[in-house]
Amino acid sequence: MTRPVAAPRLDATAGPLLAVRQLRIQHRLPRAHPFARPRYLRAVDELNFNLHAGETLALVGESGSGKSTLARALLGVQPVSSGSIRFDGHELVGLDRRGWQPLRRQIQMVFQDPQGSLDPRMRVAQIVAEPLVYLCPELDAAERRHRVEQTLERVGLGPEMLECYPRQLSGGQCQRVGIARALVCGPRLLICDEAVAALDAVTQAQVLQLLREIQMQTGMAMLFITHDLAIARQISDRVLVMYYGRLMEQAPTRTLFAAPRHPYTRALLASVPGVDPAQRAALLRPGAAPDTSVPSTGCLFAARCPMADEQCLRRVPPVHRLRDGSAVACHYIAEAWVPPTKAA
């Protein structure tokens, strides 16, 4: 069993590396007929959060919550409808390709599919060197080769891997190559979109340990998108819970798992395998998913929330900022919490 790596020290006085404010991302839906009014799906709606250097923020929520859409927006490949994304003081919303060029090397991503994200026609040395060719043109061929070898060594791959093709590697080795490709330019922000979902449990633990060690060495920030609450608990400093594009709860990891305050967060924690079905049913009512193509008149979770009343159906809940740094979007913030028990 690997020894857990201590969390990096965060400078509370420093400003955030990444600041997202009132972010809204909409997708235009097909028209039912040529004269129909245009309709938009709100994939991300009025989202606010900060991410500091050396910190890991886990982004969790069920499928359709807008997690991957947010990741694409942070990379500049998803148009933003309104709001602000500031990275180290630079506004990213509205930047053209030329404006993004100096920032590409500072924001990188590790993808979910270890093998599908690698070009099968390229050798490992070429895959890892490719970002250097486009983002670090000041390096010559010898310097690029040296940087590639150093980065592969950092992720635990030896020089014998340089001439291998992705098909010759295991899933864990392919993901290490993907991590090396993301790290080779020395990013300050690493976005991991379900980066260990396709790996077995042992390899997952190794990759998570690797990411934490690299973070300790470099001080980079990580946005870790996952549907696995156990992974979020293991790797993150804070957790942000989304539901159909909206923030439900944001809190330090220990606080969120010990005393979740939003009914949706509680339902998520009770959704893991083995929890008593009766407890799960008490925390989540049967209900339809919200229609985010129409303006919201209340809480998006109201149809499935056991605490919902008329106010929840009529008014969108405000985001309450609490003393411990948590944020909860609920009319009735619950304090008492009994962790779900395993079924007998």
Domain tally, the chain: 1
- What pLDDT, on the 0 to 100 scale, is given for residue 342? 66
Question: Is the pLDDT reported for residue 6 higher than 70?
Answer: no
Among candidates 63, 177, 164, which has minimal Cα distance to 113? Answer: 177
Domain that holds residue 305: 18-29+39-106+187-329
- What pLDDT, on the 0 to 100 scale, is given for residue 339? 66
Does a structural domain hold residue 86? Answer: yes
Does a structural domain hold residue 231? Answer: yes
Does a structural domain hold residue 11? Answer: no
Does a structural domain hold residue 129? Answer: no
Q: How many Cβ atoms are within 10 Å of 154's Cβ, its own excluded?
A: 18
- What pLDDT, on the 0 to 100 scale, is given for residue 113? 84
Does a structural domain hold residue 126? Answer: no
What tens digit of pLDDT does each residue of 19-51 get? 999 999 999 888 877 878 888 889 999 999 999
Does a structural domain hold residue 164? Answer: no
Here the CATH number for the domain that contains residue 276 is 3.40.50.300
In this prediction, residues 129-149 reach a mean pLDDT of: 94
- What pLDDT, on the 0 to 100 scale, is given for residue 197? 86
- What pLDDT, on the 0 to 100 scale, is given for residue 8? 46
In this prediction, residues 309-333 reach a mean pLDDT of: 91
Does a structural domain hold residue 135? Answer: no
Does a structural domain hold residue 82? Answer: yes
In this prediction, residues 212-231 reach a mean pLDDT of: 93
- What pLDDT, on the 0 to 100 scale, is given for residue 200? 86
Average pLDDT, the chain: 89
pLDDT band at 223 (very low <50, low <70, confident <90, very high): very high
In this prediction, residues 188-215 reach a mean pLDDT of: 90
| Residue carrying structure tokens 């790996």 | 199
* pTM higher than 0.85: yes
Residues in Cβ contact with 287 at an 8 Å cutoff, skipping those fewer than 6 apart: 303, 304
What tens digit of pLDDT does each residue of 51-84 get? 999 999 999 998 889 999 999 999 999 999 999 9
